Amino acid sequence: MADQTFRLPDLGEGLTEAQLVAWRVEEGARVEVNAPLCDVETAKAVVVIPSPWAGTIQKLHARPGESVAVGEALVTIAAAEGAPAEATPGTLVGYGPGAPESGIRRRARMPVATAETSIDVRAAPFVRQLAKDKGVDLAQVAGTGPGGRITRSDVEAAAATPATTAAATVPSNGGERRISVVGIRKAIARQMVRSVSTIPQFTEFAVFDATNLMAAREKRKASGRPMTPLPYFIEALVKAVRAYPMMNSSWDDARDEIVVKEPIHLGIAVNTSQGLLVPVLRDASTLDLDAIAAQSAQLIEGARAGTLPPSQMSGGTITITNVGASGPVETGTPIINPPECCVVAFGAIKPRPMVVDGQVVARSGAWISISVDHRIVDGAMATEFLTALVAELEKISA
Amino acid sequence: MAKAINLSLRDALTRDENVLIFGEDVGALGGVFRITDGLQKAFGEERVFDTPLAESTIIGVAVGLALRGFRPVPEIQFDGFIYPAFEQIVSHVAKYRNRSGISLPITIRVPFGGNIGAVEHHSESPEAYFAHTAGLKVVTPSTPGDAYALLQAAIDDPDPVIFFEPKARYYLKEEIDPTARVPLGKARVAHEGSSVSVIAYGPTVSIALQAAKTAAAEQISIEVIDLRSLSPLDMDTVMASVRKTHRAVVVHEAPVFCGFGAEVAARISHDGFDLLEAPVTRVGGLNVPYPPARYEKLYLPDADRILQAADAVLAYG
Amino acid sequence: MADVVRVVATDDPVRALFSPAGELTAEARSRLGLDAAALRELYRNMVLIRRADQEALNLQRQGELGLWGQYLGQEAIHVGAMTALRTDDWVFPSYREFGMAMVRGVDPADMLTLFRGLSHGPWDPHKYHFAPLAIPVATQVPHAVGFAMGCRLKRSEEVVLSTFGDGATSEGDWHEAMNFAGVFKAPVVFLCQNNYWAISVPLSKQTAGSIADRAHGYGFPGIRIDGNDVLGVFAAVRAAAARARQGDGPYLIEAVTYRMGAHTSSDDPTRYRLDSELQAWNARDPIARYRGWLEQQGIIDDGVVAAIADAAESAAQAMRARLISLPAPPAGEAIFGRVYSNPPASFLQEREEFEASLEGD
């Protein structure tokens, strides 16, 4: 004799509950199939419920006056032998809106491969796919379609090998020469206009004493591991930025917020035949000097060869640039790479007259200029940061 | 086209003694558009007969006759009068097999569409209601040749078919080949092109072809797809075209809002997301009841509106 | 076929059997040509289908069926009409004629799967000559007429029984079908089971006129009879069918009865009808009445009655057991299996994708 529990069915096509009016049996009573068990009142009618099984009433699960939900236990019966087994249990018992399911279900939700979206770039789906296939970073492509939309031909032009910058020259016309602006030239133009028109930027200048830096370089060169100044600049910059994290941030105009970024992704401005490109050294603060040297060299080489994928050409948080590796030019006023807060420009290291202990001597030195977003950083902090950077550079040990 | 349909019905009556044609005025009069002209005389009143004026029961008795072993081809006299029969079509014709396992090989013929200067209720395009109903097949020819062949295929099909005849094209003339076969569920490329796919059916196919001709003179290459079959829908032909052109325009007389074009557009956008260089655009009737005849040309799609849409999708660069 | 038939109501073999009040005359009753066995069989069938009806209601109250619409009180019509027809005569029911289906031999457990959410049409119409259930009221009447028109075209001998309730006679489809039947002289017997109630709307609100008389407007005869007299129903349907079978066209029989149960298991008739009315009709119960007559005729005794009651009880239990044991068809088959005879590729693809989305194999 197995105990079976009879649950309240949906008696009227969509009911959710019924109120027990009265029991017609007691616990312990023997019942046959269809014997009246109880009266219930639904939203539609008062209904007598007959017993689904023959057997002995074990437990009545509700009291008169109580509300019973569809699917809730009504009565447990110790069923007599031979009670027919349900082939499809639960198919209809409590069929109503809150009822247990029929036993067939759809597969649970599975993860879907995320599609990349770049919301700020106006290009049709086909053009996006084409750019992806060709490894073109749409953010770097200037759109020639209506309203600046990037078209299929823009992507194809960008994908074509260098010499697309100041490319097609139109035949001369009365002393004028017109150069069609496409591709990277156009992208740079757009970025620079965006920078100066949206970011109130100011520039500060400093000179640092490179004597220790050069000594360190000599020592490495002697041991057969030469290194350009750039990795030293980068390492010092990273340390200074860690002390002044505001330099590694962005102004969010839409939300009136400053977004301070934790990782330092350093954009390295590289002059290439296609124009100025800025590959990004990711997580610079996790790298030691050798790693910085190796990776930055790779980036520079890749940028010049045009082989870097879009992921290495974007996502920078602060930018470093060189102003003349040699020659008479000392420094300049760099323009911030939006949406960053700061750009740092290094001049050439060369012998300069400096005053040491009251005497004018010749020592290695270089100019540093930083341009900074005045919405985020005021002059005082800029000065402190620049001072810290100079200090880092001057205390480089061999 | 009227003669092609007449010939198709005649050949069907000859080939299969269970084919019956009935409806209002189809017998002695030969139909208000003369589509069934001469058929009652040729085949007798037990094969081709007039019914009382009762659309719901014209379809209802078609159900009973089909159960009894006939192949009924009832006619609904005008698109606007199919609505009394809507229940019989949707609740029974479409669902009978699902309910009982028995197929009803009924073909319901209905002239549809506007542009004939008619009064109310004679210019409707109700095809979406029926394409939306599982269990039915819905087809519409745009040429006399297709009218002949598609009707043969519809009558032969064991499932119920609604055959929408573009009444504004009844007088379109062309040589037809009665041996040509056109299966249900297959679209055709009515005009090859490479820049924009214009997808049309029934009365809008010839308008799309006109637009393609004008566009060609402007060096714009339009490809015209004639769907022929709304349900089942041949997306293979449509997608092959969009793969080529990357731009699609769908045209029908029915109002754009919730029209059949929405299904085509949604499918193109989904199946061809990365193929598109412009959003899929629909051209069709305004979201109003069909207007009085004097204004119908402002309501209906014409070649200009198709070209406008083509220009718009090309303007995406 | 296109001739307009004008009825000259001289020869009406159905009316000849009945009094003006719609009762089978004594003479007609004595000349039915049914032997004792046949007469007992009528009683047996009524008891069987009543007991099945009660069991179906129990099953609904136990959650085994989602819905049940009782035909309690209408057994005389179900059994009388079906017995009067030949087995190859088609029946086009509405949604309450399960008693009729059972008399035709449809397994009741199969029938009930309709209300168990497993199927929309659980019997093969061609096997039983019994069309599927029709829920939109009166929409099946044109089907019946079309089928009958087809019989006439084929010169075959079957007739069609088109059955419906009083409410159906308000629907446009009913009037259109009646008209078609008259125009095409279709061999159809229209049987209106006037059970007085259309859910909660009584006959007096359903129509101002007489249902039976409407037939004349459509060009053929009609009669109103006592629907709780199984022999009366038998006689009327047999005579009307014979008339149709010999090519004399349609006939409308309005059989007056009462819907003793609720409209369906979701309905509460205490909200709109008086218990006194129910009791008055209970006193005219068709089974009790017929049993009385049989006893009077010496055709049955208590022993036979008890045996029949037992048989009905066993049949009900067997129906219950079988119903509960019937498996649910796999989802793909139940949902996609019968939509098209010639399914398009896109349909098959949708089915594949659906089946792939289900858990398990």
Q: Spot the catalytic one: B92, B121, B122, B270.
A: B122
Q: Does residue C156 lie in a domain region?
A: yes
Residues of B in contact with A152 (CB under 8 A): 277, 317
Parts of chain B with a pLDDT under 70: none
Whether A127 contacts chain B with CB within 8 A: yes
Structure-derived torsion over alpha carbons of residues C264, C265, C266, C270, reported in degrees to the nearest 10: 80
Q: What is the pTM of this model?
A: 0.74
Q: Does C327 touch chain A (CB under 8 A)?
A: yes
> Is residue A71 domain-shared with residue A146, that is, in the same domain?
no
Of B169, B201, B221, the residue that ends a domain is B169
What phi and psi, each to the nearest 5 degrees, are found at residue A263?
-70, 150
Looking from the CA of A148 toward its CB, the CA atoms found within 13 Å total: 11
Residue B288 in any domain: the answer is yes
Residue indicated by tokens 């038939």: C5
A262 touches A270 (CB < 8 A)? no
Q: Under 8 Å CB-to-CB from C299, ≥6 apart: which residues?
A: C36, C39, C40
Assess whether the previous peptide bond of A328 is cis (omega < 30° from 0). no
Does residue C10 carry a pLDDT above 70?
no
Residue of A nearest to C118 (CA): A91
In which domain, by residue range, is B39 found? 2-169
pLDDT band for position A111 (cuts 50, 70, 90): low
Check if C349 contacts A (Cβ < 8 Å).
Answer: no
Query: How far apart, in whole angstroms, are the C-alpha atoms of residue B233 and residue B254?
Result: 17
Q: What region, left, alpha or beta, does residue A283 occupy, with left being phi > 0 and alpha being psi -120 to 50 degrees?
A: left
pLDDT at A116 over 50: no
Query: Does residue B27 sit in the same domain as residue B85?
Result: yes
Nearest to A132, CA basis, from A115, A148, A111: A115
Shared domain for A255 and A287, answered yes or no, is yes
Identity of residue A304: R
CB B248 within 8 A of CB B242: yes
Domain boundary among B169, B197, B224: B169
User: How many Å lie between the alpha carbon of B115 and the closest alpha carbon of chain C?
Assistant: 32
Per-chain mean pLDDT for chain A:
84
Residue at C358 is within a domain: no
Least confident of A162-171, B266-275, C228-237: A162-171
Same domain, yes or no, for A173 and A210?
Answer: no
| Catalytic residue status for C263 | yes
pLDDT at res. A271? 85
Q: Which chains touch C (3 or more CB pairs under 8 A)?
A: A, B
Rounded to an integer, what distance in angstroms lies between the CA atom of residue C100 and that of residue B298?
A: 58
Q: How many structural domains is chain C composed of?
A: 1
In a domain, B274, yes or no: yes
Q: What is the mean pLDDT of chain C?
A: 94
In a domain, A96, yes or no: no
Q: Which residues of A touch C320 (CB under 8 A)?
A: 33, 84
Report how many Cβ contacts below 8 Å link chain A to chain C.
91
Q: Report whether A31 contacts A77 (CB < 8 A).
A: yes
**Pick from A128, A129, A145: CB nearest B317:** A145
CA distance C290 to C135: 31
Whether residue B176 lies inside any domain: the answer is no
| CATH value at residue B27 | 3.40.50.970
The CATH number assigned to the domain holding A6 equals 2.40.50.100
Task: Check whether A83 has a pLDDT greater than 70.
Answer: no
- Please, are residues C39 and C235 in contact by the beta-carbon 8 Å criterion? no
For chain C, say whether B54 makes contact (Cβ under 8 Å). yes
Question: Quick check: A165 pLDDT over 50?
Answer: no
- Percentage, residues of chain A above pLDDT 90: 49
Q: Per mean pLDDT, which range of A289-298, A301-310, B145-154 is the poorest? A: A301-310
Verify that B207 and B92 share a domain, yes or no.
Answer: no
Residue C249 pLDDT exceeds 70: yes
For residues B209 and B280, membership in a common domain is answered with yes
Q: Does A116 touch chain B (CB under 8 A)?
A: no
Q: What token pair was written down for C24?
A: 């089978």
Q: Give the gap in angstroms from C-alpha A154 to the nearest C-alpha of chain B.
A: 10
Query: Alpha-carbon distance A332 to A249, whole Å?
Result: 23
How far apart, in whole angstroms, are the C-alpha atoms of residue A301 and residue A298?
Answer: 5
- Token reading at A377: 């950083």
Q: Are residues B81 and B221 in the same domain?
A: no
State how far the Cα of C294 lies from the Cα of A301, in Å rounded to an integer: 111
Q: Are residues B145 and B210 in the same domain?
A: no
- Are B142 and B102 contacting, i.e. CB atoms less than 8 angstroms apart? no
Interchain CB distance below 8 Å, C341 and B233: no
Residue C156: domain span: 15-328
Q: Which of A126, A143, A144 shows the shortest C-beta gap to B277?
A: A126
Element (H, E) at C235: helix C230-245
What's the distance, CA B177 to chain centroid? 20
Q: Tell me how close the Cα of C327 comes to any Cα of chain B, in angstroms.
A: 18
- Check whether residue A144 and residue A62 sit in a common domain: no
Q: C118-150: per-residue pLDDT in tens?
A: 889 999 999 999 999 999 999 999 999 999 999
- Cβ C266–A93 below 8 Å, yes or no? no
Q: Do residues B160 and B197 both lie within one domain?
A: no
Residue A86 domain-assigned (yes or no):
no
pLDDT at A333: 93
Please judge whether A124 and B315 are an interchain contact, meaning their C-beta atoms are less than 8 angstroms apart.
no
Judge if A224 and A308 occupy the same domain.
yes
A36 pLDDT higher than 90: yes
Kindly state whether residue B207 falls inside one of the protein's structural domains. Answer: yes
- What is the enclosing helix (H) or strand (E) of B48? strand B48-50
Shortest distance, CA A127 to any CA of chain B (angstroms): 7
Interface contact flag, B98 C131, Cβ < 8 Å: no
Q: What is the pLDDT of residue A314?
A: 83
Q: Contact C94/C164 with Cβ under 8 angstroms?
A: yes
- The CATH code of the domain that includes A362 is 3.30.559.10
Residue C216 placed within a domain: yes
Please tell me whether residues A292 and A209 are part of one structural domain.
yes
Domain count for chain A: 3
The answer on B90 and B203 residing in a single domain is: no
Task: Give residue A46's pLDDT.
Answer: 86
- pLDDT over 70, % of chain C: 97
From CA B316, how far away is CA B281, in angstroms rounded? 12
CATH of the domain at B245: 3.40.50.920
User: Are the beta carbons of A145 and B246 separated by less than 8 Å?
Assistant: no
The answer to the question of residue B10 being in a domain is yes
Task: Tell me: do B85 and B233 sit in the same domain.
Answer: no
Two structure tokens written together for A18: 């019924």
Same domain for A284 and A213 = yes
Amino acid letter, residue A177 = R
Has residue A92 got a pLDDT over 80?
no
Residue A85 in domain: no
Beta-bridge partners for A363: A352
Q: According to the model, what pLDDT value does residue B72 have? A: 98
- First-residue to last-residue Cα distance in chain C: 56
Among B62, B92, B135, beta carbon nearest to C139: B92
Asked if the structure places residue B41 within a domain, the reply is yes
Interface partners of A (3+ CB pairs, < 8 Å)?
A: B, C
Instruction: Specify the residue for token string 């200037």.
Output: A142
Q: Per the domain annotation, does C284 fall within a domain?
A: yes
C-alpha distances (whole Å) from C44 to each of C37, C41, C290, C315 are 10, 5, 11, 12
Collect all residues with Cβ–Cβ distance below 8 Å to C266 and sequence separation of at least 6.
Answer: A11, A12, A13, A44, A45, C67
Per the structure, the complete domain to which residue A30 belongs is given by 2-79
Position C267 scores a pLDDT of 86
Count up the domains in chain B and report the number. Answer: 2
Q: By CA distance, what is B101's nearest residue in C?
A: C338
Q: Distance, in angstroms, between B194 CA and closest chain A CA?
A: 15
Where does the pLDDT of residue A146 fall: very low under 50, low under 70, confident under 90, or very high at 90 and above? confident
When pLDDT is averaged across residues C167-182 and rounded to a whole number, the result is 97
Q: In the predicted model, what is the mean pLDDT of residues C333-338?
A: 92
Tell me whether residues A107 and C357 touch, CB distance under 8 A. Answer: yes
Pick from A268, A334, A274: which is nearest to A297 by CA? A268
* Cβ distance of A106 and C359 shorter than 8 Å: yes
**Interchain pair A11, C60: CB under 8 A:** yes
Residue A321 φ then ψ, to 5°: -145, 160
- B122 flagged as catalytic: yes
* Any domain includes C265: yes
Whether A180 and chain B come into contact, CB under 8 Å, resolves to: no
B57, C346: Cβ pair inside 8 Å?
A: no
Determine the residue type at A275: G
Partner residue opposite B315 with nearest CB, options A126, A143, A146: A146
What would the two tokens of residue A68 be? Answer: 């019973």
Q: What is the CATH number of the domain that holds C235?
A: 3.40.50.970
Please indicate, yes or no, whether residues A175 and A232 belong to a single structural domain of this protein: no
Q: Which chains touch B (3 or more CB pairs under 8 A)?
A: A, C
- Which one from C129, C259, C291, C320 is the annotated catalytic residue? C259
Count of CB contacts below 8 A, B vs C?
A: 141
CB–CB of A106 and C357 under 8 A?
yes
A149 and A218 in a single domain? The answer is: no
What pLDDT is attached to residue C156?
A: 95
SS3 for chain A is: CEEEEEECCCCCCCCCEEEEEEECCCCCCEECCCCEEEEEECCCCEEEEECCCCEEEEEECCCCCCEEECCCEEEEEEECCCCCCCCCCCCCCCCCCCCCCCCCCECCCCCCCCCCCCCCCCECHHHHHHHHHHCCCHHHCCCCCHHHCECHHHHHHHHCCCCCCCCCEEEEECCEEEECCCHHHHHHHHHHHHHHHHCCEEEEEEEEECHHHHHHHHHHHHCCCCCCHHHHHHHHHHHHHHHCHHHHEEEECCCCEEEECCCCCEEECEEECCEEECCEECCHHHCCHHHHHHHHHHHHHHHHHCCCCHHHCCCCCEEEEECCCCCCCCCCCCCCCCCCCEEEEECCCEEEEEEECCEEEEEEEEEEEEEEECCCCCHHHHHHHHHHHHHHHHCCCC
What's the mean pLDDT in C262-271?
89
Q: Are residues A308 and A178 in the same domain?
A: no
- For the stretch A238-278, pLDDT in tens is 999 999 999 999 998 878 889 999 999 999 998 887 788 89
